[in-house]
Amino acid sequence: MSESVVQDLRSLLGEDAVLTEPEDLVRYEEGWRYGKGKALLVARPGTTTQVATTLATCAAAGVRVIPQGANTGLVGASTPDGTGRMVVLSLERLNRRLEIDPVNRTVKVDGGVLLSALNEALLPHGLMFPIDLGADPSMGGMIATNTGGTRLLKYGDVRHNLLGIEVVLADGTVIDGLNQLRKNNTGLDVKQLFVGTSGVFGVITGAILQVVPVPGQQATALVGCASGESALLLLRALERDLADVFTAFEVISAEALAPVFSHHSSVRNPYGAARPPAYTALVELASTLPQAALDLPGLLEERLGAILETEAGEGITDVFMGRAEDLWAIRHHVSESLRQEGRVLAFDISVPRSRMAEFTQAARTLLQAEYPFVRCCDFGHWGDGGTHLNLVWNEADALRPAAELVPELQARIYDLAVKAFEGSYSAEHGVGPHNQKFYEAYTPAAIRAISGAVKQHLDPKALLATTRLD
């Protein structure tokens, strides 16, 4: 059966579109952070019709398929399982369609188009796709994970910027939902089934995205905050005064900040020899207005000065204006610097913004009481209620091996976030095998039943994906 699938796909897609040699498969078999399996083959169709042919061929043979974009996902959802019997359906060659409509301010893209290629094509039109992150994912992968990123505060996530979608179902049926309209209230909005559902219901081959004008100027500052509560007061004051131009509010704890400067001498430490305060907020403003019409750096400096005179200013310890590249470099070095500090267990949690300080404090209290050898190095998108709580420890100091500690810490932190703080165990990275057991623990039975019924309708033989949403 496997051999005939290989032959059939080769004759339908062409020799070079089907990879079977172990050395060719390796890069498709291991995820960025989690997920390592074995593929039967990698199919690389170049058109929607070829995707449909691939899926119909696999369905006829009862072969399971894992859709894969740029393989930058962080929950192990883009790689095959360990059976060696799954087909990796790579969308990397499905990247030819990229049609820009500057007046409609939309773009029609193939599912395999990379974010960098999209933005490169949009730039001459003065446009950009506003989801911004430290990786270069594909459009299909971004839709399947509903990517958030650092400017969600201003532009929303992928869902907010998606107008239409083209999907191929497990049996090869093509659904053309390439809607270009901003207003279209005519029944079921079918694209929503495929947003953030990890390729479980179908393979995204095309999309219509809404794009935005590129801001001509930015202003950035680092603001030291004595506590998490002070950071939230600052957020509120900034939104009140500057909502029109406020694009990012990232917060880094002192524990997450210090390793950036110890491991990267090229990154300037604005605090110098002084100990950083409990939290540092990276504040960004952006505008399409020219500086002659609006002096954004001047405005940011003036407003921060004014906030310092108010109650919100009481917890502010420092203000550093700086170049966007320099300040964002600090934020972008956090994850990788923490990995140099010891064992890292990363979380992608969200809670209501108003409870962020209380949540991170509760996590610290729990860890200090029960896991004193674990450092809580939290940082993230506080502007949209997201925190990448990273727990770091030296394995030599740990009371138990990581294999025991990791599930225990996950259970404790997720219970705290989901049950006590009405939060999410996966704010922006999706479910995937990495979060499967938490999906089962925290998803209400009624929602799982609906999701299971949709799966049964769209993919009754459960051939697509390794994630289960039933």
Q: Which residue has 């999706």 as its token pair?
A: 430
In angstroms, rounded to a whole number, what is the distance separating the alpha carbons of residues 178 and 191?
Answer: 9
**Binding-site member from 144, 260, 367, 469 for ligand FAD (CB under 6 A):** 144
172 binding ligand FAD? (CB under 6 A) = no
The SS3 call for residue 238 is helix
69 binding ligand FAD? (CB under 6 A) = yes
Could you give the C-alpha distances from 385 to 360, 380, 419, 431, in angstroms and in order? Answer: 11, 9, 16, 18
Could you tell me where the DSSP H helices lie in 293-401? 296-308, 324-332, 334-339, 356-370
> Per-residue x/- marks for ligand FAD, 9-48, CB under 6 A?
-----------------------x----------------
Select the span of 139-147, 247-255, 261-269, 391-399 touching ligand FAD (CB under 6 A).
139-147
**Binding-site member from 48, 54, 147, 247 for ligand FAD (CB under 6 A):** 147
In angstroms, rounded to a whole number, what is the distance separating the alpha carbons of residues 398 and 388?
Answer: 22
Q: Smaller CB distance to ligand FAD: residue 241 or 284?
A: 284
429 binding ligand FAD? (CB under 6 A) = yes
**Binding-site member from 9, 13, 63, 91 for ligand FAD (CB under 6 A):** 91
Closest to 246 (Cα-Cα) out of 209, 277, 210, 281: 281
In angstroms, rounded to a whole number, what is the distance separating the alpha carbons of residues 327 and 206?
Answer: 35
Q: Which residue has 């923490």 as its token pair?
A: 338
The SS3 call for residue 87 is strand
72 binding ligand FAD? (CB under 6 A) = yes
- The secondary structure element, H or E, covering residue 408 is helix 402-414
Listed in sequence order, the residues at least 6 apart from 94 whose beta carbon sits closer than 8 Å to its beta carbon are 45, 46, 47, 48, 51, 110, 111, 112, 140, 205
**Binding-site member from 59, 65, 70, 338 for ligand FAD (CB under 6 A):** 70
Q: Smaller CB distance to ligand FAD: residue 251 or 374?
A: 251
210 binding ligand FAD? (CB under 6 A) = no
108 binding ligand FAD? (CB under 6 A) = no
Q: Smaller CB distance to ligand FAD: residue 198 or 435?
A: 198
**Binding-site member from 135, 178, 308, 418 for ligand FAD (CB under 6 A):** 135
95 binding ligand FAD? (CB under 6 A) = no
Q: Smaller CB distance to ligand FAD: residue 10 or 332?
A: 332
Rounded to a whole number of angstroms, the CA Rg of the chain reads 23
Q: Smaller CB distance to ligand FAD: residue 314 or 336?
A: 336
373 binding ligand FAD? (CB under 6 A) = no
Select the span of 70-78, 210-218, 337-345, 403-411 touching ligand FAD (CB under 6 A).
70-78
∠ CA 167-200-441, rounded to 5°: 150
Q: Smaller CB distance to ligand FAD: residue 32 or 320?
A: 32
Which residues, in sequence order, are bridge partners of residue 271? none
Q: Which token pair is 462?
A: 């459960």
**Binding-site member from 73, 177, 315, 385 for ligand FAD (CB under 6 A):** 73
Which residues would be at the binding site for ligand FAD (CB under 6 A)?
Answer: 32, 66-74, 77-78, 91, 111, 133-135, 137-138, 140-142, 144-145, 147-149, 198-199, 203-204, 428-429, 465
